[in-house]
Structure 1
C-alpha cells in the first residue's frame, strides 16, 4: 500500500528498499521515547510484507514497554537528497527533495528460541557483498557469552504505507539532467528504478 501519487513501481520495491536500508526506527506506541534504531529483515508472503525479523538488547528499556503494549510504528528511510534548480539548469525551477520511505504498523512478538536464526540471517544479509563474508561462528566461545544479553523478535505487520518520491513526475529533459548531474549514485539508481512509464509532458 502506498500514497497514490508516489506508489512503488514494482511489487518488489518495498522488500528491496528494506533489504537495501535495513536500519529502522522501532517506535513503541506506549512510549515513543524508548524508540530504538534496529536492523530488520523482511519476511514476505508473496509480494506482501508479512513480518520483520530482528533482535535487541535485553537491557533495552523498550523491552519492558513492549511487554505491556506490543504495538509499534516502524520507519525505514531509504535514499534521499536535495534537488537543486542548478541541476536542471533553470533558476526558475522549484527545488525539491527526493526520498523513499516506508512506514509500518506492527505488533511485536518475542521469539527467543529463534535468536540464533536471527543473528545468522542478519549476518548473511549484511555480509553478502563482502569477498569473505563473516559468520557468527567465528566468534567462538564469545558468541555464547554475548547472546545471553539479546533476544529475537518478530514484528507482525498490520499495515504498510510507502512513499517513493523520486522524480517520477519530472519531464524527460529535467529528469535526465538531474540524474546525470547529481553526485549520489544510490539516489540516482532508485530514481531510475522508479521512473517506469510515468511522465509529465
Structure 2
C-alpha cells in the first residue's frame, strides 16, 4: 500500500480496533484462475499470534476456500470511515486557489498464510463469537443457540472456516494531516455540516489534526 509517512498507522491496537469496528473485510487471493475477491466478515483474535489472527467462514459453495487451501498468502482489506473532501472547505482556496479535491479514509491491510478449518466444533465457536460480537449491544440479542440444534448443524455443514495468522499488517489514516491547520479545521467543520454522514470522518480529522472542540 502506498504509505506517505504522515498517514501511516503502525500501532497494532489501533489497527485491530478498526477491524473490530469494520469487520467486513475484502478477502483477496491470487490462484490458478487469477485474482478473486469476496467480502467476508472477520473476527480478530490478538492472542493467537504475534500480530493477531483473523477468523472467518465462507459458504462451501464459494470456490475461494479451495484456493485458500492452496495459496501461500492472501490479503484482507478492511475499510474504515471514508468520505470526499471538497476544495471549498479549504482556507487555501480563498488565499491562492491552488487546491484540488481528494478523499479521506482509514484502512487496514493484513496479509497471511490461510488455514482452512473444516471442523464442526471450530465452526460452531466461530459463528457464535461472530454473532455475539454484533448482537451483544442489542436490548434483545439473538444467539446461535436460539435456533434448533439440527438446523444449526445443517447450516454448519454448508460452511468452511478460515484462520489467517497475520504475518504483515499495515494501517493508513489519510485524514487531512498533510494540510495546513486552517484547511484541517475547514475539513472538520465541513464534515460536521454533513450531519450523520460526516460524523465519523469529522472525528478522525479532529483527532489526527490536533484540533480542539471549539
TM-score bucket (shorter structure): 0.7 to 0.9
Match of 1:185 in 2: 199
| Match of residue 79 from structure 2 | 77
- Hey, what does 1:24 align to over in structure 2? 25
Structure with greater Cα Rg: 2
1:64 to 66, 74, 84: 66
Partners of 2:12 and 2:51 within 8 A in 1: no
Kindly state the Cα deviation for residue 188 of structure 1 after the two structures are TM-superposed: 1.6
Deviations 1:80-109 (A, max 9, x none): 111001223536233221111122211111
Post-superposition offset of 1:60: 0.9
Is this contact kept in 2: 1:44–1:51, CA < 8 A? yes
Q: Distance in 2 between matches of 1:174 and 1:45?
A: 41
Of residues 89-98 and 69-78 in structure 1, the stretch that sits farther from structure 2 once superposed is: 89-98
Q: Is the 8 A contact 2:25 2:79 kept in 1?
A: yes
Q: TM-score, normalised by structure 1?
A: 0.86
How far apart are residue 11 of structure 1 and its match?
Answer: 4.5
Which structure 2 segments of 5+ residues have no match?
Answer: none
Question: What number of residue pairs does the alignment pair up?
Answer: 197
Find the residue that maps to 2:206 and give its secondary structure: helix
In the alignment, structure 1 residue 195 sits paired with structure 2 residue 195 = no
Greater shift, 17-26 or 179-188, is seen at 179-188
Under a length normalisation based on structure 2, what TM-score does the superposition of the two structures give?
A: 0.81
* Residue in structure 1 matching 2:178, options 169, 189, 200: 169
Point out the more displaced range, 92-101 or 39-48: 39-48
- The answer to whether the 8 A contact 2:9-2:173 is kept is yes
Shift of 1:129: 3.3
Note the residue ranges of structure 1 that are not aligned, 5 or more in a row.
none
Which residue of the other structure, out of 46, 54, 57, is the alignment partner of 2:56? 54
Work out the CA distance in 2 between the residues paired with 1:85 and 1:108: 42
1:134 aligns with 2:150: no
Q: Which deviates the most, 78-87 or 173-182?
A: 173-182
Over residues 157-191 of structure 1, what are the superposed CA-to-partner deviations in whole Å (9 max), with x where a residue is unaligned?
11112211112222332222211221211122222
Change (3 A) 1:8 1:68: closer
